[in-house]
Amino acid sequence: MGVLPYPPGRIEHWTAALKLQLGFLLLVLVLPVCAQPQTAASAPTYKNLSIEELSTIEVTTPSREPVRAFQTAAAVFVITGDDIRRSGATTLPEALRLAPGVEVARIDANRWSIGIRGFGSRLARSVLVLIDGRTVYTPLFAGTYWEVQDTLLEDVDRVEVIRGPGGTIWGPNAINGVINIITKPAHETRGAYTSVGGGNEEQGFVNSRYGGGNDRNIDYRVYGKAFTRGPEFHPDGHNFDDWRGTQGGFRLDWTAGQHDSVTVQGDLYSIRAGELVTATTYNPPASPNVAGNADLSGGNFMARWTRTFSHGGDLQVQAYYDRTSRTELNLADYRNTYDIDIVSHVPLGARQTIALGAGVRASAVENPTVVSGLTFNPASRTDTLYSAFFQDQISVVPDRLSIFAGVKVLKTNFTGALAEPSARLLWTPNARQSIWAAFTHAVRTPSDVEEDFYLSGFSRILPSGVPQMARFNANNQFAPEQMNGVELGYRQQIGRSWMVDLSSFYNHYHDIEDQEITGAPFPEDNPPPFHFLLPAQFRNGLRGYTKGFEIAPEVRPAGFWRLRGSYSYLHMNLGRSPGSGDIGTFPFIVGSSPHHQVAILSSFDISRSVQADLTYRYVSSLLGIPSYSTGDARLAWRFTRSLELSVAGRNLLQPRHIEFAGDPATLVGIRRSGYLCVAWRR
């Protein structure tokens, strides 16, 4: 049990909280029994997929072509747009809680720690994130800034989550998983949509979209959204983490004949996110915590052309431009990224299909110095990525046994040529069962923070009265982090009412980043004033393994009731490599991800126009953070075909709880919250 920054209260308060948690869990499991079964004439107006329909959902992330999720040789989980709406989630990180094996911890009001199968962190450095196939992983600090990744959630078709490496298809940094957020095609978003609402944390939001077309071959939509969110609970009363922003965008789909289609889309955003950072200065020598607003803005433009051939193959060419502007209290990042990607699938007879592709990415960046303790050298540079991949799929026994083998070859401005090979086996003894196994080698390439980054901190005043500073120096010999992973999975549909998905894994890592002291303190007078400097560096001093499994069953006890669950187990064992001088990095890496996660989701239709959804979540302890259980609820009424009213409650089982230690000051409590939403569709 970790130490809380505020008194936990008397023992009877803990007893009452436990009773509340058990009562909520019982409510999740049995309340739907009280709902009245509906006749066919009073079927819900919302889309409610049956077990058979869920098993036929097609995904594109595992192979970059449509394939049934039930028959993929990877641990893939699909969060549908309807799942997101019914959960009451208002951000993409909250929606990711619906997937087993994904660790989502809120740090404060606008920052999250996200990981898959371990290595949870502020930027999720081992997880590759895409939106409609566009990479949003930044090479600055190696990861994803979730506070600026947004879209109109009403327009999300699905989120495909791959637990496990996906580098053979998608390239570097997909070590532990791939998250692909896919929006609906424009023809599915015709008409108008508007929603407004607010609450105690979601202080106010408005979303609007309009879509149309020419009823032949062109469809489009435009959208806009704005929000303001309040801070979480701070024991010291320093409520720095308020969050507000606006975003807009468009999508145009054009079908040119039977074989060609073109998609053009783009987004613009402007966000102010409250933050607390450590801003080191040499004169005077100090490392104070500074609060203020980060100004975050940017936009993207993407075009994609797809041609299908009469023999069954296809060719896709995609290009995008992304502009990022981050002005924070201690650093600045101004980045222009250009990317082009070509992928083709070529069938070779009835039993074999090869996939091949190539890509080039260039990211021109400027990182001017904001405070003297944090600099990049050189401040202006260009990050590059060149890649090519090949994958061969062979149907050894038609509709029963398939083999997938492939390799991705890549090169960045920080590395020579690297290879990411994989081999997968899929056995489907019948249409309702699939068993798969995989071996994959994956890498995380070095980023700007390892190769060009200098970070200083004030250490102490020596007895002589001279200050001592510590500095992490750039390491242009930083090697790619490497992983060899073995996976085994099983899926089965049991009758018309049950489905279960089980995945297990063992991953061995080496060359993992650590922090090392590289020498004794020495005198330095540049920058002034005169001081002693303790040198340090990011190096590749850790190795170890992770193992675990995830199970995700689903049952339909009745036509009006959907019951889902998941349990994830993770064991991490990291330590120093021979010769490592790590100063204690690995306990924090191991402690950043929970050993156990449990989720139970119960969705039911009370009547034709009323829906209710309950979610129970349990997360075991992290380093210094106690385990917690909490629950969410949403109730929605559709008064007419066009008008819906919903009320949602988040984190209902306690006034507040801590999920992650990521801010430099006191631990932040994630508050109980609720909001009301009115949505209109036409």
The letter for the amino acid at 638 is: R
DSSP-derived 3-state class of residue 474: coil
Please enumerate in sequence order all residues whose Cβ is within 8 A of that of 405, keeping only pairs 6 or more positions apart, or say none.
391, 392, 421, 422, 423, 424
Q: What is the pTM of this model?
A: 0.93
Q: Residue for token digits 């380093």?
A: 623
Q: Per-residue pLDDT for 299 more than 80? A: yes
- What is the widest separation between alpha-carbon atoms in the chain? 86
Q: What is the pLDDT of residue 33?
A: 56
Which residues make Cβ contacts (< 8 Å) with residue 431, sequence separation at least 6?
A: none
Nearest one of 632, 616, 625 to 658, comparing CA atoms: 625
Label residue 47 by pLDDT band (50, 70, 90): low
Q: What is the per-residue pLDDT across 190-209, written as a single tens digit (0 to 9) for each?
A: 999 999 999 999 999 999 99
3-state secondary structure 325-381: EEECCCCEEEEEEEEEEEEEEEECCCCEEEEEEEEEEEEEEECCCCCCCEEECCCEE
As a whole number, mean pLDDT of residues 363-383 equals 94
Q: From residue 601, how far is each of 15, 328, 486, 504, 651 by CA, in Å?
A: 24, 38, 30, 22, 14
Q: What is the pLDDT of residues 469-498, one digit of tens each?
A: 999 999 999 999 999 999 999 999 998 889
Radius of gyration of the chain (CA): 25
**Environment class of 73 (CB within 10 Å of its CB; exposed 0-12, middle 13-18, buried 19+):** buried
Residue 634 tokens read as: 């949403």
**Residue 84's closest CA among 634, 591, 680?**
634
Q: How far is CA 541 from the centre of its chain?
A: 27
pLDDT at residue 623 in the model: 87
Name the helix (H) or strand (E) containing 21: helix 11-30
Token digits for 593?
A: 């991800």
d(CA 162, CA 164): 6
- Which token pair is 94? 């909250």
Q: Any idea what the Cα angle at residue 292 is, between residues 287 and 296, rounded to 5°?
A: 115
Nearest Cα to 185, choosing from 259, 269, 81? 81
Give the C-alpha distances (Å, rounded to integers) separating 682 from 212, 228, 552. Answer: 12, 26, 36
Tokens of 192: 């108008």
Q: Which residues make beta-bridge pairs with 68?
A: 58
pLDDT above 50: residue 262: yes
H or E stretch including 447? none
Q: What is the pLDDT of residue 431?
A: 86
Which pLDDT tens digit goes with each residue over 558-589? Answer: 889 999 999 999 999 999 999 999 998 989 89
- Token look-up 């939509």 returns 221
- Confidence class of residue 17 from pLDDT cuts 50, 70 and 90? low
Provide the token pair at 240.
């720095």
SS3 191: strand
With contact defined as beta carbons under 8 Å apart, do 674 and 650 qualify?
Answer: yes
pLDDT of amino acid 198: 97
Confidence check: pLDDT of 46 > 60: no
* 3-state DSSP assignment of residue 464: coil
| CA distances in angstroms from 371 to 122, 332, 375, 600, listed in the order given | 22, 10, 8, 46
587 Cβ neighbours under 8 A, 6+ residues apart: 623
Q: What's the whole-number mean pLDDT along residues 130-135? A: 94
CB 95 within 8 A of CB 79: yes
Which amino acid would we find at residue 558? A
Over the stretch 404-457, which tens digit does the pLDDT of each residue have?
Answer: 999 999 999 999 999 999 999 999 999 899 999 999 999 999 999 999 999 999
- pLDDT of res. 18: 61
- State the pLDDT at residue 172: 84
Q: 132 — alpha (psi -120 to 50), left (phi > 0) or beta?
A: left
- pLDDT for 27: 66
Cβ contact 219:190 at 8 Å: yes
Residue 26 is predicted with a pLDDT of 64
Q: For residue 616, what is the enclosing H or E element?
A: strand 610-619
Q: Which amino acid is at 514?
A: D
User: What are the backbone angles phi and psi of residue 461, rounded to the nearest 5°?
Assistant: -100, 120
For position 66, what pLDDT does the model report? 81
Contact 593, 120 (CB under 8 A): yes
Amino acid at 563: L
What is the CA angle 224-228-230, rounded to 5? 160
Q: Which CATH class is domain 11-476+506-681?
A: mainly beta
Per-residue pLDDT for 465 more than 50?
yes
Joined tokens for residue 496 = 């018309």
CA dihedral 664→665→667→673, nearest 10 degrees, is -100
Q: Which residues contact 464 (CB under 8 A, 6 or more apart)?
A: none
Pairing of strands 177-183, 127-131: parallel
CA dist., res. 61 & res. 59, Å (int)? 6
Contact 187, 219 (CB under 8 A): yes
As to burial, measured by CB atoms within 10 angstroms (0-12 exposed, 13-18 middle, 19+ buried), residue 655 is exposed
Map residue 76 onto helix, strand or coil: strand
Residue 53 vs residue 245, higher pLDDT: 245
In this prediction, residue 350 carries a pLDDT of 86
